[in-house]
Amino acid sequence: MTSKFIVLLLTSFIYVLVLVGFKKAKQKFAGGKIAALIGLVITTVVLLFVADYVLLFEPFFSGNTIFIAQTLFRTAALSCLAFGGIRIAAD
């Protein structure tokens, strides 16, 4: 196994732990601003997960394409968190 594969396995384990924890918290705090904020965090984590795993398509696409896809997913994740947070704070 390559070091890149081991790092991806470790980060996927961390992502799963975060998603499970926030999913349980969302069930506990159903409704209201807290549940909406937890939903934003879950969406952000999923988009960051996808951004990390775009590397698996490296044999099929060029390095520039992979970099652009990672940048787009990371930007989408942070934008979702920022604009969603502003929307929740404005309510």
| Residue-wise pLDDT tens digits, 9-20 | 899 899 999 999
Please give the model's pTM, rounded to 2 decimal places.
0.84
Beta-carbon contacts of residue 66 (< 8 Å; ≥ 6 apart): 54, 55, 57, 58
With a cut of 80, say whether residue 1 has pLDDT above it.
no
Question: Pick from 17, 44, 69: which is nearest to 9 by CA?
Answer: 17
Which pLDDT score, from 0 to 100, does residue 5 have?
83
Beta-carbon contacts of residue 45 (< 8 Å; ≥ 6 apart): 15, 18, 19, 22, 77
| Residue-wise pLDDT tens digits, 8-64 | 889 989 999 999 998 898 888 888 888 888 889 999 999 999 999 898 888 899 989
In this structure, are residues 84 and 40 in contact, taking their beta carbons and an 8 Å threshold? yes
* Cα Rg of the chain (Å, integer): 15
Please state the domain extents for the chain.
3-90
Q: Both tokens of residue 76?
A: 């989408």
Which pLDDT score, from 0 to 100, does residue 67 have?
94
